[in-house]
Amino acid sequence: MQNFVFHIPTKVIFGRGTVSSIGPETAAWGSRCLLVHGRASSRRSGLLDRVSASLSDAGVEVFEHGGVRSNPVLSHVREGITLARQHRVEVIVAVGGGSVIDEAKAISAGSLVEHDVWKFFTGRRSIRKTLPLTTVLTLAAAGSEMNSGMVITNEETREKFGTGNQLLYPRTSILDPELTFTVPPDYTAYGAVDAVAHVLEFYMTSRDPDTPVQDRIMEGLIENAMEACDRCLADPCDYGGRAALMWTATLALNGLTAAGLGRVGFPMHMIEHSLSALYDVPHGAGLSAIIPGWLTWHSRRAPARVAGLCRRLFPFPDMERCSERELAARAITILRNWFGRINSPASLQELDIPAADIPKIARNAMALARVWRLGEYTPGIIEEILALCR
């Protein structure tokens, strides 16, 4: 186990009927807020009115910035920054999924600097201060509600980049599973895939062979994400299933799994971000198309971790007679079949992305590979992986 500092400054208020806490939790940070939300779901469900009422009751003046789209874009972030400055807001409130929370994070940092907010994403500027952020989560997926990351797409350059900073952690996040009852089957599945991918990224890229604590946590989170997703697809209003999926997705990328692993990477995300940037693919759908191919490529070079996942999560009689490669192939098949069962695409073809585009996707992904210092990835290797995802 490697040295680590584990410090998550986000207060999570979890459970039924917790939305009314957003007002007091936000008033603690300021009396003028920018309320960032998506295109339709939170207004349709009446959640936006409940949040606005809670904020007003707590004495917080509300200025709205709605219309955040999935795979949030830089131009809309800039509009939010202008509004935040114009209304001299002291705190940002995000009501939505990962896209809304990430855009709110970008506004919280971008509204306090003179330079363009995109410079934070290309590594040309560091974040030194942010406005406080509180959130109400409406979709179990990205984990942004309890982490220091944010992902924005620059539509002009067709780049979808992520960056992180300790100052981006939300002060408080409200996680009420009932708010996710209205999440449609596709985004329920994509969210579970995203959570599984967050765990797999670290499980597969860790180089420390002696991390049993982290490994058991990660294996448990993968098992939970798969099981809870199946429950929610069977019954969208299964509170226990929605609660398990929500807390699993949050824990999958809040730093808990990575603590003690040493240096880990996000190679599958590095490639997926190009699919979302170039084709506006939902993040989780892009990941399910990448995971089988990347795991196949990875297990050809180092089968042990994928084979280990099969032993731990997908055991079967006489498995000790199988080779590492056979066990790895079996785990990949089980994941691919699960993607099929939950209707999350398991190949580029299922995303209607032609194999002829592979070189273009690889070139786009290389830009993020450089920013994320994934030095072992060349355009040729990314093309090799994408060819396995066809």
Contact positions vs ligand NZQ (CB under 6 A):
38-42, 70-72, 96-100, 102, 138-139, 141-144, 147, 149-151, 162, 179-180, 182-183, 187, 191, 194, 253, 269, 283-284
Mind spelling out the 3-state secondary structure of 77-122?
Answer: HHHHHHHHHHCCCCEEEEEECHHHHHHHHHHHHHCCCCCCCHHHHC
Least distance in Å: CB of 349 to ligand NZQ? 22
Q: Given the complex with ligand NZQ, which of 149 and 267 has the nearer CB atom? A: 149
Alpha-carbon torsion (197, 4, 306, 246), positive or negative = negative
**What is the smallest separation between the CB atom of 373 and ligand NZQ, expressed in angstroms?**
17
Q: Which residue, 10 or 70, is less far from ligand NZQ as judged by CB?
A: 70
**Region of 118-126, 191-199, 343-351, 365-373 interacting with Zn ion (CB under 5 A):** 191-199
Binding partner selected for residue 358 from Zn ion, ligand NZQ, none, CB under the kind-specific 5 to 8 Å limit: none
Min CB(315)–ligand NZQ separation in Å: 29
State how far the Cα of 62 lies from the Cα of 51, in Å rounded to an integer: 10
Identify what 302 binds: Zn ion, ligand NZQ, none; CB under 5 to 8 Å per kind: none
Distance between CA atoms of residues 324 and 378, nearest Å: 27
Q: Does 145 bind Zn ion (CB under 5 A)?
A: no
Q: How many CA atoms lie within 13 A of 286 on its CB side?
A: 20
- The set of residues, in sequence order, having a beta carbon less than 8 Å from that of 269 and lying 6+ positions away, is 162, 197, 201, 287
In the complex, the smallest distance separating the C-beta of residue 50 from ligand NZQ, rounded to whole angstroms, is 13
Angle at the Cα of 6 (from 270 to 272), degrees rounded to 5? 10
Residue 353 Cβ vs Zn ion, minimum distance, rounded to whole Å:
18
Q: Which is nearer to ligand NZQ, 132 or 191 (CB)?
A: 191
Report, in Å, the least distance between residue 11 CB and ligand NZQ: 18
Q: Which stretch binds Zn ion (CB under 5 A): 73-81, 189-197, 256-264, 333-341?
A: 189-197
Q: Which residue is nearest to Zn ion (CB)?
A: 194
Q: Which is nearer to ligand NZQ, 161 or 310 (CB)?
A: 161
Task: Report the C-alpha gap between 292 and 196 in whole angstroms.
Answer: 12
CB 119 within 8 A of CB 161: no
**Closer Cβ to ligand NZQ, 21 or 344, answer by number:** 344
Burial 5-24 (b: 16+ CB within 10 A, else e): eeeeebebbeeeebbbbbbe
The amino acid occupying position 385 is I
Smallest gap from Cβ 219 to ligand NZQ, in A, equals 20
User: Nearer to ligand NZQ by C-beta: 18 or 41?
Assistant: 41
- Cα distance between residue 348 and residue 331, in whole Å: 20
| Closer Cβ to ligand NZQ, 98 or 303, answer by number | 98
Of 22, 83, 77, nearest in space to 47 by CA: 22
Residue 257 interaction partner, one of Zn ion, ligand NZQ, none, beta carbon < 5-8 Å per kind: none
Among 145, 159, 176, 194, binds Zn ion (CB under 5 A): 194
In angstroms, give the least distance from the CB of 198 to ligand NZQ.
6
Angle between helices 185-205 and 283-301 (to 10 degrees): 30
Q: Report residue 386 as tokens.
A: 């994408």
Phi-psi region of 260 (alpha: psi -120 to 50; beta: other; left: phi over 0): left
Return the range that interacts with Zn ion (CB under 5 A); candidates 67-75, 186-194, 304-312, 362-370.
Answer: 186-194
99 binds, among ligand NZQ, Zn ion, none (CB under 5 to 8 A by kind): ligand NZQ
Choose between 187 and 297: whose C-beta lies nearer to ligand NZQ: 187
Nearest residue (CB) to ligand NZQ, 102 versus 159: 102
- Cα distance between the two ends of the chain: 37
Question: Alpha-carbon distance 356 to 386, whole Å?
Answer: 11
Instruction: Tell the smallest beta-carbon distance from residue 197 to Zn ion (Å).
Output: 6
Sites of contact with Zn ion (CB under 5 A): 194
